[in-house]
Amino acid sequence: MLNKTYSKCACAEAIGDIDAMIAALERLRSSPRDLVVRIKTPLDASSLSASVRQLVTDSKNMVAGAMSWHSDRESGLLRALIETAMHTLASVFYHCCRLITVVDLVDNVLDAARSLRTTVEAVRVVVDAGSDLDETADNRTALLATAGLLAKSLSVLVQKARSYDFSPTT
């Protein structure tokens, strides 16, 4: 998913991809001994923190794009914003798979992914509402509420990523 190109159905594709990432993380968390991944590069704390901070930025941009969305002409921009957020989530997911034994970090990534999924669903509702002003206003209010929950889960994830000690244990 790191390099996936999303089509016109970006919201639906993103929701499916988030569901797949959540399912994979839950499977790995429940049986980490089954994880046979050979990664040759060392895990870098700054890289994880940077990916998480970028996810915060990308999520904000996605919500802002949906809030200002008015027509199908802007669908390409919104699709690009969703795609960017998904690529960043995939990067965080990659780091988390490498840290699968750090259960609290995995839980925070799962919470953030679920919140992002809910936010993408709210983006889809805003886009699908069309030109009905009352419905659009209600949908944008709901989007802001989901974005607030996303911001909280991402904030916790940022703090957790910053505080994690990546030094080898002996």
pLDDT tens per residue, range 29-41? 777 554 444 444 5
Whether 4 is covered by a domain: the verdict is no
- Give how many domains the chain has, as a whole number: 1
Query: Closest Cα to residue 169, out of 103, 101, 123?
Result: 101
Tell me 32's DSSP state.
Answer: G
Tell me 33's DSSP state.
Answer: G
User: pTM (2 decimals)?
Assistant: 0.78
CATH classification of the domain holding 107:
1.20.1420.10
124: containing domain: 10-30+40-163
Whether 5 is covered by a domain: the verdict is no
The Cα-based distances of 114 to 32, 37, 38 in angstroms read 21, 25, 27
pLDDT at 120: 94
Identify the segments of the chain with pLDDT beneath 70: 1-2, 32-45, 71-74, 99-104, 130-133, 164-170
Paired tokens of 152: 């909280």
57 residue type, one letter: T
11 residue type, one letter: C
CB 100 within 8 A of CB 29: yes
pLDDT at 167: 52
Whether 3 is covered by a domain: the verdict is no
Q: In this structure, what are the phi and psi dihedrals at residue 165, rounded to the nearest 5 degrees?
A: -95, 115
